[in-house]
Amino acid sequence: MKKIFYLCTLVLLFSCGNKKEVTVKPKEKQLNISILLDLSDRISTTRCPATPEHYQRDLEIVKTVTEYFKSNMNKLTAWKAKGKIRVFFSPPPSSSTINEIAGSLKIDCSKLENKMRKQVYDTITTLFGNSLTQIYNQTNATSAWEGSDIWRFFKNDVRDYCEDQDTTYRNILIILTDGYLYHQQSDYNKDNRYSYLLTKNMKQFRNQNWKQQIDESDFGLMTERNDLQNLEVLVLELCAENSNNKIDEDIMKYVLGKWFSEMKVAKYQVYSSDLPSNTKVRVENFLNN
């Protein structure tokens, strides 16, 4: 009887010792990517010169995003790929030409046949690059700095524009802005909360104890909602208007992070403008994780 017991014990030990752990990979989600562009004078080659220019940095960012979109299509295969990607402005520019070009930068693979999805795969990076180059060139040529009302966009439109109710989609919003948030149609404040971030309400914090002062005074952006649990937000290209006030970028990152947390954004990152090669790594890390 003891021999049988020992034999059974050895069999069990052998079985357990050779059992392999099975790693289950998470299911690849469909992508729903929105890219919100700030057409303010931040892209001006004369007012805000840089090397590379800021509009060129934007183009490289969008290229990285479209390449990621393509890799998702590749993983899902053509007949399963139903990703969505679009570039837009809020509010829409007054230029009908820019609006027409932007209209071509709206891709919805869920409504396309396999042949057309293949065409999207082959052409999306070139299409977005060429079209945005036209938009930036026209904006710089006309100096029509219309800016972006990012605060009002989050207040009124973000869920309608950037969230797909189908849970098989991953909702991602990418915002390209210098971080100075202002639009003439949204100029409000209540106590120490504002609809904008500008020098006039940030300069008081340009000191060593800025974070403590912001917390104690409850300085920040006015929060109008707390229902963005299904949205990921990546903000890129923050840039202080004066190199002597680089602290502005720290303040903007902190205030935007506080705002996103209050709106219950699922995941967010905020980064300053950098060389395209460095920003590329940050974008890829955000999208891949």
At residue 6, the pLDDT reads: 46
pLDDT at 26: 63
* 9 has a pLDDT exceeding 70: no
What mean pLDDT do residues 87-99 have?
93
Instruction: Give the CA count within 13 Å in the CB-facing half-sphere of 57.
Output: 27
**How high is the pLDDT of residue 8?**
45
In this prediction, residue 78 carries a pLDDT of 79
Residue 11 in any domain: the answer is no
Residue 15: inside a domain: no
SS3 for 169-194 is: EEEEEEEECCCCCCECCECCEECCEE
- pLDDT for res 62: 98
Q: How long is the chain?
A: 289
Distance CA 40, CA 189 (A): 22
Q: What's the distance, Cα to Cα, between the start and end of the chain in Å?
A: 55
Model confidence pLDDT, tens digit, residues 25-34: 567 899 999 9
In a domain, 20, yes or no: no
Q: 234 lies in a domain?
A: yes
**Segment 195-211 mean pLDDT:** 97
- Per-residue pLDDT for 110 more than 60? yes
Whether 17 is in a domain gets the answer no
Q: For the chain, give the percent of residues with pLDDT over 90.
A: 86
User: For residue 219, what is the domain's CATH number?
Assistant: 3.40.50
* Residue 192 lies inside a defined structural domain of this protein: yes
Residue 2's identity, in one-letter code, is K
Instruction: Tell me whether residue 104 is in a domain.
Output: yes
HEC string of 206-241 equals CCCCHHHHHHHHCCEECCCCCCCCCEEEEEEEECCC
What is the percentage of the chain residues whose pLDDT exceeds 70?
91
pLDDT at 12 over 70: no
Domain hosting residue 129, numbered range? 26-288
Among 139, 34, 149, which residue's Cα sits nearest to residue 91?
149
Residue 120 has pLDDT above 60, yes or no: yes
**Count of helix runs (H) and strand runs (E) in the chain:** 10, 9
Least confident of 12-16, 164-168, 175-179: 12-16
Average pLDDT over residues 191-213: 97
The average confidence (pLDDT) of the chain is 91
Q: What is the pLDDT of residues 217-261, one digit of tens each?
A: 999 999 999 999 999 999 999 999 999 999 999 999 999 999 999
Question: Per-residue pLDDT for 122 more than 60?
Answer: yes
The pLDDT score that the predictor gives to residue 146 is 87
> Is there a domain that residue 135 lies in?
yes
pLDDT surpassing 50 at residue 4? no
CB 116 within 8 A of CB 91: no
pTM: 0.90
The confidence score (pLDDT) of residue 13 equals 40
For the chain, the domain total comes to 1
Average pLDDT of span 146-162 = 96
pLDDT for residue 3: 46
pLDDT band of residue 5 (cuts 50, 70, 90) is very low
Return the minimum-mean-pLDDT range out of 5-19, 113-127, 168-182.
5-19
